[in-house]
Amino acid sequence: MKKLIFTCIAISLLNIVSFGQITKSKKAASDKKDKAVVVDSSAWRAKHYIVNRDSAYMDPRIGIEKLRGGNRRFVEGISIRPRQDASTIKKLETGQEPFATIVSCSDSRVPNEMVFDQGLGDLFIIRTAGQVSSAASYGSMEFAVLKLKTKLIVVLGHTECGAVAAAVERPANVPGHIVTLINEIKPAVAKTSHLAGDPVDNAVRQNVIDQVNILRDLEPILHQKYITGEILIVGAVYDIRTGKVEFLQETLQNLPKPKLIK
């Protein structure tokens, strides 16, 4: 009986030792793996499409690349969720310097910070259905440009937009102020009515282009800042099926020469 007990104890001790060795080996392998990946190394930055934030704030062209990089991370499932901690909250107590203003649709499927993988203080966001702008929206953009020194404005539409779909369908007896949204989008619908493909998505793209042109011509602030190259105003479309943001080439052509100011 004693021999059997001693045998069981010996086996248990061997199992404990073996488990300890296996656990130690796994931890060592894990530690080695962690040490191999140096966060913020040049290789890591390249893999995650990192663009310097200060450079993006100073140069709107770099700002576009920063947004593109963030969206690539989002699409590829490697979002880093930057500047979303307590220390950033503390740093922003005294002010903000967003590197881009996003004029976006109110649609809940298009959360701007997530789509572009940005954090606190990075994006100044104005949202309405169909990203239709009014006096309050214009004033908000002007505030961002004059007070916050933000040099990039991106009009961001998205596929299968409900406001654009309503403008395409033109329902009778539209209630309340919804009709004002539809009326603002109707010109884009008319311009694309002859095109093949999905009429809503065609109108979405044209609506973004039209809104970009309106902002570029908006006096007295945005137009003057745009033509002198102090700010850029461009358009993009978010695909709700893939998560990808496409910057529209029609709004990236013939841009004014950059004029970097502090």
Could you tell me which residues come within 8 angstroms of residue 250 by beta carbon, excluding any fewer than 6 positions away?
Answer: 209, 235
Tens-digit pLDDT profile for residues 63-114: 999 999 999 999 999 999 999 999 999 999 999 999 999 999 999 999 999 9
**Residue 192: C-alpha distances to residues 162, 198, 234 (Å):** 17, 10, 20
Average pLDDT, integer, range 134-155? 97
Of the listed ranges 62-76, 136-150, 196-210, 248-262, the least confidently predicted one is: 248-262
Look up the pTM and report it.
0.84
**Residue 238: C-alpha distances to residues 32, 50, 81, 116, 246 (Å):** 39, 20, 19, 10, 6
Q: What sections of the chain are H helices per DSSP?
A: 2-36, 42-47, 53-58, 60-76, 86-91, 112-115, 135-146, 162-169, 178-192, 199-216, 222-227
Tens-digit pLDDT profile for residues 27-64: 544 444 444 556 788 999 999 999 999 999 999 999 99
Tens-digit pLDDT profile for residues 229-259: 999 999 999 999 999 999 999 999 999 998 7
- The amino acid that residue 262 corresponds to is K
- Domains of the chain plus CATH, in order, are 42-251 (3.40.1050.10)
Q: How far apart are alpha carbons 10 and 243 in whole angstroms?
A: 58
What rounded mean pLDDT belongs to the chain?
89
Residue 141: what pLDDT?
98
